Structure 1
Amino acid sequence: MGNQRSMSRAEVEQAVHSLECNPTAPDELKHLLRELQRHQLELELQNRELQEAHQALEESRNRYMELYDFAPMACVSLNERACIQDLNLTGAALLRQDRTFLQGLPFTPFVDPQDVSRFLLHVRQCIAGETLSTELRLRVARSQFEVRLYSAPLQDGRPHERMCRTAIIDITELRQVQLRLSLAERLATVGTIAAGIAHEINNPLAFLMGNLTLATLTLQSQAPEAEVSRPPGALEGRPPAERALKALAEAQTGAERIRDIVKDLGAFARPTASRKGRVDVQQVLELSVKMAMAEIRHRATLVRDYAKAPEITADSAQLGQVFLNLLVNAAQAIPEGAASLHEIRLRVRTEEDTVLVQVEDTGEGISAQILDRVFDTFFTTKAPSHSMGLGLAISHSLVSQMGGTLTVESKLGRGSTFSVRFPAAAPPPALTRERASHPAPPSALQGGRILIVDDEPKFGETLQMLLSLSHEAVYTSSAREALLWIQEGHHYDAILCDLMMAEVTGRQFYEELCQLAPEMARRVIFMTGGAYTPASQEFVSGMTRPLLIKPFKADALDQALRPLLPSV
């Protein structure tokens, strides 16, 4: 029996043919051979189907392996000891090793030491049957990057044997973009915060400067003329009133410096809506220098090389932002502590019908390989915590929107030069000879009746005392009380009204006054320490009434009052 073998198809066909040709062969035997021939054909068909199915399965497996190997994400299979059982080519490229070398090795050497315990817990939970994800850091060839692991349990084919099949997504760039966007959002709030700070500083600064002026005027009225007009010098031996006047003058100078700083801060806190006008580039550049000096002074010597240049048409706030970005960028290209060895040179030139402003530094420079990318959004050579890669991109966009160009020239190790070019604005129309040669002298003002509306009592009371020296001035901290006085029939030559008030805003007061007494509404002069809400910004940009920015000087107040008060 051990030598028995199955008959081939040819043998079966020969046997069937022999029996059919032999009339003496039993019918049962002939029937049995026909059945055998039919089963033989069925087996051949089944075998052919199995071969085709096996070939299709092999092709599908090959396609799967190609997709697995060249998938855009790294895939790795780990056993319960977190050793690599299998991984695709993308995973091998991520770990920068040959795939055959990595199989069987533990994965933990590629995990940041601070994240190893979290990684092993992740693998244990996956082996136990959980599908989960975890973020951690990998260290590969002295490089560190952030990844997210997506893991699911995988049966190995052997009973009670499971593996952890993990997809690894590199999220380093995503995290950097998220960080930059977060910083950009924080930067977007700086303007609002700065305007709010300016408003809070300007109100007390206004009544501080007003009281300094009052004290100075009082002392001057009491001090002899000789003491007031004595030339400056040592104060020893001088009368107390003169020493007090000197101290008040210095305090006034300090207060004015604070006012200028707040004003500069407010210039960079305006809304982004473009307001083009005639701009003196040197003036805007100097404002930006004052803002950037904290970055510059410890790194380089500032050199000004200015030539007289015509005005340009631009938005002064946006242009100031461009210059500030370029100055800070130049300063940060120079290491700290060697200011005497480096310089930042500012040039202003006129080239035919173009105004050129250059910011040149002697810093580290930019390599030729990346020079054409310096204006790309989010591109930076600095650490993400030190730069968002937005400054130069924003500057380039702003300059283009204003009709100018921003270019760069640089050599590695020798510094960079950023050049801003704008078309020169057409000269303003000349004044007529008569008007230019015979300016009208200002007329003297008679005392008027002035209403002050401001919810900052100290400022309102100080302004009332100052105006009471020449006018009849009344003050209220309530806009509703002011409206009631007007409704009762009180008439005022001028109304000084604060724009930003808590209970009733200056805008609401003005709109109600327009309904109540339209003629009186034409006598309103607004005051503000900083119109920084969207509604107040919109109102200020569209109104026709005068606006005084706190703290203001007496001559600015007189100039605003002059058209409203009777004159001699």
Structure 2
Amino acid sequence: MGEHDLEDLILRWARTAGIGFFLLDRQGRIVECNQAAARILERQRSDLLDRALADFIHPEDLTDVERRVAELRAGSTVFVERRLRRAGGGYHYCELGVIDLGEQGVGLACRAVESRRRLEARLRVADRLASAGVMLESITHSLNDPLSILLLNSRDMIEQVSKLQARLSRAWMKVANSLGQERAREIFSSSGPDEENRRTDRLHAQLEEIWQASERLIRISRSIQEFVSQQQPADAAEVNTVVERALALMEEELRFRARVRRELGQVPRARVTSSQLAHAVVNLLQNAALAIDKRGCGHGEIVVRTFREGESVCLAVRDNGAGMDADEQKMIFEPDYSSWSDATTAGLGLFVVRQVVDDAGGHIRIESTVGQGSEFTLVLPVAEGTEAPPTEEHRNFNRRCGQATPRVLVVDDDAGMGRAIRRILEPHCRIVFVDSGEKAIAQLEHDSNFDLVLCDVVMPGLNGFDLHDWIMKNNPRLARCFLFMTGGVFTAAAKERLRRKAVMLIEKPFSPTGLRETIFDLLG
């Protein structure tokens, strides 16, 4: 093949190849390009000739032109990623290979890399969420036992103080009636029932504050568990519940930036995983907060709405922030795009939102006005059917206790948890507590006359699963009255074992009322 034939072949290939080719003069104007290059810029080839390539590059990507020109003149072939302007507005990422052709100008090969960047972004998101999930599950598991102890004990103390207040009042009156009020004041070191009541009222109020703070911590803990959990049914998100938990997670971030208003309607479940929807809502709330910061209006407002449209569940987040123009609206869901100049985000927030909605088979509506704010509406398909009925094994759990006061074996490696459970249940049950699975087996080998076993899942040595397996083999009757309690399991194997076992579960931290009701339901 002659030299001219080879040149003709290369020229024909360049004109028809799927990669875009540009020939630029020394001033950076387009002298020649192929059809693939025109398609990348969404224009006719004739419209590109004699235009400066810089006209189609995002302004922020032109900042290092001088350095790149210097590299070219030094004889290097430069490979860069740049955002090129679409004809319809907005930009997309392209990989450019640039070579200096001397007096003839500059040669440039171009290919779109949107698909690759989206895949890379999804992998980054998945890796980030997986790492964060393991860390958060470990943290919440560590917190849930002390939170449960705090909650159980504070509630029990409130009840005991109320009883003590009544007893003190009766005792004071009896002493005063028998020995006189002067002697009663000496004995009780108080001026009368009113002073005793003030003391106990103060103690009662302090304990109520501890209880309320514990409840708040529990709501945050459960919101975190919802955020990272992968155990929910894939098609059964309770949208309003997810919204409330996302707002609980974002409470501190939002409280000084905006007033949050809820307009939550009665909506069916959405066909999306709860944890994925939680990620989407948190990212929308973060975006709203940043938009309010960008506008600097000083009186931000965020409105979260849920409503139904036909066979869709809608979740809308509206803010009175900076708003967006049409070009920005076309870019916001691209990976690594961020309009926040202070680099407060990695540019993946709204990309995550779009991936969640796309995976669920829904779509996103945007309404935005520059200087007035934006509203993002997630339109999700309604989940089919209703909540699955309880399994036959769970129905069989409900039985009538044969004793007036049931005996309960409590197994937990945290002695403080055992003492708290004993205080809550002992008025209603006879409690035997052991702090390991091995001691539980020793207890059952010696005395198996229990009505229920309440057992922690994660324990050193013999864990809850292993204990349940042993009871299944050696005491099938008691195995049917087995209640797991857990502050969270965070290994894949543990999650799978928990899923396969037909055993009821109560999640830590739990309230005294929640624990009692669960046990009494189980005992029938």
Does 1:302 pair with 2:244?
Answer: no
Does the CA contact (< 8 Å) of 2:269 and 2:382 recur in 1? Answer: yes
After TM superposition, the structure 1 = structure 2 runs for residues 60-459 of structure 1, keeping only pairs within 5 Å, are: 142-143=63-64, 166-170=76-80, 185-224=127-166, 238-271=197-230, 274-277=233-236, 279=238, 281-306=239-264, 308-314=265-271, 315-335=273-293, 338=296, 340-382=298-340, 385-423=343-381, 446-459=404-417
Q: Which moved more, 1:320-329 or 1:379-388?
A: 379-388
Match of 2:511 in 1: 553
**Shift of residue 323 of structure 1?**
1.8
Give the distance between the partners of 1:179 and 1:350, measured in 2 at CA: 31
Does the CA contact (< 8 Å) of 2:152 and 2:424 recur in 1? Answer: yes
Give the distance between the partners of 2:25 and 2:142, measured in 1 at CA: 57
Does the CA contact (< 8 Å) of 2:147 and 2:509 recur in 1? Answer: yes
Does the CA contact (< 8 Å) of 1:361 and 1:416 recur in 2? Answer: yes
**Shift of residue 509 of structure 1?**
1.7
**Shift of residue 425 of structure 1?**
6.1
Q: Which moved more, 1:528-537 or 1:405-414?
A: 405-414
Give the distance between the partners of 1:475 and 1:92, measured in 2 at CA: 85
Does the CA contact (< 8 Å) of 2:242 and 2:278 recur in 1? Answer: yes
Change (3 A) 1:140 1:329: closer
Give the distance between the partners of 1:145 and 1:282, measured in 2 at CA: 53
Match of 1:118 in 2: none
Give the distance between the partners of 1:145 and 1:345, measured in 2 at CA: 47
Match of 1:81 in 2: none
Percent identity, aligned pairs only? 25
Give the match's secondary structure for 1:170: strand
Does the CA contact (< 8 Å) of 1:546 and 1:560 recur in 2? Answer: no
Give the distance between the partners of 1:359 and 1:286, measured in 2 at CA: 13
Does 1:491 pair with 2:412?
Answer: no
Change (3 A) 1:381 1:181: farther
Q: Which moved more, 1:461-470 or 1:383-392?
A: 383-392
- C-alpha deviations, 1:246-288, integer Å up to 9, x for none? 3222211221111111111111011277532262x33432322
Give the match's secondary structure for 1:312: coil
Q: Which has the higher relative contact order, 1 or 2, with Cα contacts under 8 A spaced 6 or more apart?
A: 2
Give the match's secondary structure for 1:364: coil
**Shift of residue 527 of structure 1?**
0.5
**Shift of residue 185 of structure 1?**
2.9
Quick one: which amino acid aligns to residue 213 of structure 1? Answer: R
- C-alpha deviations, 1:450-484, integer Å up to 9, x for none? 11111112111222233233322111111012112
Counting matched residue pairs gives 424
Does 1:463 pair with 2:421?
Answer: yes
Give the match's secondary structure for 2:197: coil
TM-score normalized by structure 1?
A: 0.62
Q: Name structure 2 gaps, 5 residues minimum.
A: 14-21, 31-59, 83-92, 96-115, 171-193, 388-399
Give the distance between the partners of 1:286 and 1:268, measured in 2 at CA: 12
Change (3 A) 1:90 1:484: farther
**Shift of residue 520 of structure 1?**
1.8
RMSD: 4.5
Give the distance between the partners of 2:489 and 2:481, measured in 1 at CA: 20
TM-score normalized by structure 2?
A: 0.67
Does the CA contact (< 8 Å) of 1:309 and 1:355 recur in 2? Answer: no
Give the distance between the partners of 1:546 and 1:180, measured in 2 at CA: 36
Give the distance between the partners of 2:439 and 2:204, measured in 1 at CA: 38
Give the distance between the partners of 1:63 and 1:354, measured in 2 at CA: 55
Give the match's secondary structure for 2:292: coil
Match of 1:527 in 2: 485
Does the CA contact (< 8 Å) of 2:363 and 2:379 recur in 1? Answer: yes
Change (3 A) 1:271 1:424: closer
Give the distance between the partners of 2:235 and 2:262, measured in 1 at CA: 26
Does the CA contact (< 8 Å) of 2:220 and 2:245 recur in 1? Answer: no
Give the distance between the partners of 1:455 and 1:357, measured in 2 at CA: 43
Q: Name structure 1 gaps, 5 residues minimum.
A: 1-55, 68-87, 99-138, 152-162, 229-234, 430-441
**Shift of residue 399 of structure 1?**
2.4
**Shift of residue 502 of structure 1?**
2.1
Does the CA contact (< 8 Å) of 1:300 and 1:338 recur in 2? Answer: no
Greater Rg by CA: 1
